Amino acid sequence: MINVLGGGRWRVFPEKAPAGLWTTPKDLALFAVAVQKAAAGTATPGISPAIAHEYLEPPFDAEQGIGIRLGRSDDGYDIFYHYGENPGYCAALVAGVSIGRGFVIMTNANKHGLTPILKAIAREFAWTPNR
């Protein structure tokens, strides 16, 4: 996240629940891969197959998981995803449950700044994640 305010300071928000988690694209990608591996039956540090199954099973409705959304790609694969934004930041995590594909995007732009990146991913990897 490279959103810098005057004087080189990070933008910090008082809302700790929706805006208090700081992470990196690499850490989110490692998390997604760990969930994918655990969902395939391979225990990973911190995520067992049982935890992955619970994480990917919708407890509320067909599309709402625990902290994530659940869906199906245009290619017919199950996916898990989360998009988020605060003023000055926008992020996306999208991963296939069983196909080993996924991506993480973090920008210092608004939500519409993701569109060209999403189109480039779809074109380059012939995968339309569709949320």
Domain total in the chain: 1
| Residue 44, domain extent | 23-125
Per-residue pLDDT of the chain (131 residues; tens, 9 = 90+): 344 444 556 667 676 666 667 788 999 999 999 999 999 999 888 899 999 999 999 888 888 888 889 998 777 789 999 988 877 778 899 999 988 889 999 887 766 778 888 889 888 988 766 54
Determine, yes or no, domain membership for 57: yes
Domain assignment present for residue 97? The answer is yes
Within-domain flag for 2: no
DSSP the chain: ---EETTTEEP--S-HHHH-----HHHHHHHHHHHHHHHTT--BTTB-HHHHHHHHS-SSBTTB-SSSEEEE-TTS-EEEEEEEEETTEEEEEEEESSS--EEEEEESS-GGGGHHHHHHHHHHHT-----
Prediction pTM value: 0.79
In Å, how far are 5, 8, 39, 79, 85 from 32, measured between CA atoms?
30, 31, 10, 11, 19
Q: For residue 1, is it within any domain? A: no
The model's pLDDT over 75-104, given as tens digits with 9 standing for 90+, comes to 778 999 998 887 777 889 999 998 888 999
Would you say residue 6 lies in a domain? no
